[in-house]
Structure 1
Amino acid sequence: MREVAYQCSRGETVQVRYHTAEERAELVREGQAISLKQQPSGSGFIYSNGPNTIRGKGNALTVEIGRMVPLQCQAR
């Protein structure tokens, strides 16, 4: 398991716990963990559970939660 902290737009911070052997990740935002399953990706990575998705490449991460405006994040 690898945990990465991200600094996001609007001053938010999130953590992502990558469980690569299990093809899943946990997005931790505002103290709540959201479990996401790895999805096929042409480049970079995508984890999703339907309404919630994280996608990224290198140090950049986009967080999509429901209908809210996506967060743009950078690894710290």
Structure 2
Amino acid sequence: MPTPAPAIGTLLLDLVRDQLGEFRGELGNRWFLRPACGGTEWEVAPERTRPATAEQRLRVATARANARSRGELL
């Protein structure tokens, strides 16, 4: 049974890359994640992801706030 897709923007941990990504969509049995602070999307199998922890979500929120304060676009 396929894993239901999360909401667009949900932070997930790619267990293979050990990298956080923002869920961007799905195509067939592949999900697409984008680095939490911007960058190129990558594909991942849904079963190789897990939701980000509260600590990881806070770390991403802090990184985004710091980038905004430096005038960087995300």
Alignment TM class, shorter chain as reference: 0.3 to 0.5
Q: Give the number of the structure whose alpha-carbon radius of gyration is greater.
A: 2
User: More helix by proportion, 1 or 2?
Assistant: 2
User: More strand by proportion, 1 or 2?
Assistant: 1
